[in-house]
Amino acid sequence: HLRINPACSFWVPRHELIKFSPSFYEKEGLTRGTLPKICQNDPGISHLGASVGDIIRIERTEDFDAMSTIAFREVIKPSAEFNTKAKKK
């Protein structure tokens, strides 16, 4: 387990949990399964308590111009291969 919360780091963009909702996909003009993926046990979101299928909103702020970009990721369960590699370390 991590001893620090990555969400408190200046270098980690803000992550926000959006519970799964078909209306999100309609509003954004997307279909389920088309968003980039993020593993449920990713250190950047593990403190959010996300479930498989939930959506993560990521807000990145650029230092030089204070502009923000928004990205979305769909939460997936960790693959068996990922779990095996993590346990060997």
Residue 18 covered by a domain: yes
Query: In this predicted structure, what is the pLDDT of residue 47?
Result: 85
| pTM confidence score | 0.72
pLDDT (average), residues 68-84: 81
- Amino acid code (one letter) for 89: K
pLDDT at residue 74 in the model:
95
Burial bucket for residue 55 (CB in 10 Å: 0-12, 13-18, 19+) = buried
pLDDT tens column, 1-59: 556 555 555 567 888 999 888 888 898 888 888 999 999 998 888 889 999 999 999 99
**Which pLDDT score, from 0 to 100, does residue 79 have?**
78
Could you give the number of structural domains in the chain?
Answer: 1
What pLDDT score was predicted for residue 2? 54
Quick check: is 70 in a domain? yes
Domain harbouring 47, CATH code: 3.90.940.20
Point out which residues pair with 17 in neighbouring strands. 56
Distance CA 21, CA 32 (A): 10
